[in-house]
Amino acid sequence: MLESIDNNRTEILAELEKEYYAVEMPKIRMAISELIKEIGDEFKENRIEFLENEIKELKTKLTAENIRYGFTDGLGKKIVRENIYNLEKEIKRKTMHIMAIKNESQKITQEMIARAREYPIADIVGYKGKGNILCIAHKEKHPSMTIKNNYAYCFSCHWHGDAIACYMLIHNVSFVEAVKALQ
Q: How far is the CB of 121 from Zn ion (least distance, A)?
A: 14
Q: Tell me which residues in 157-176 interact with Zn ion (CB under 5 A).
A: 157, 159
Distance (Å, whole) CA 179 – CA 118: 11
Residue 136 near Zn ion by CB under 5 A: no
Residue 125 near Zn ion by CB under 5 A: no
* Start-end of H helices in the chain: 2-19, 25-39, 44-71, 74-106, 110-118, 121-125, 163-171, 175-181
Distance (Å, whole) CA 163 – CA 62: 42
Q: How far is the CB of 156 from Zn ion (least distance, A)?
A: 5
Residue 134 near Zn ion by CB under 5 A: no
Distance (Å, whole) CA 113 – CA 171: 17
Distance (Å, whole) CA 107 – CA 179: 10
User: What is the per-residue binding string for Zn ion in 7-46, x denoting contact by CB under 5 A?
Assistant: ----------------------------------------
Nearer Cβ to Zn ion, position 37 or 139?
139
Nearer Cβ to Zn ion, position 27 or 139?
139
Residue 135 near Zn ion by CB under 5 A: yes
Distance (Å, whole) CA 13 – CA 76: 47
Residue 152 near Zn ion by CB under 5 A: no
Q: Which residues of the chain form contacts with Zn ion (CB under 5 A)?
A: 135, 137-138, 154, 156-157, 159
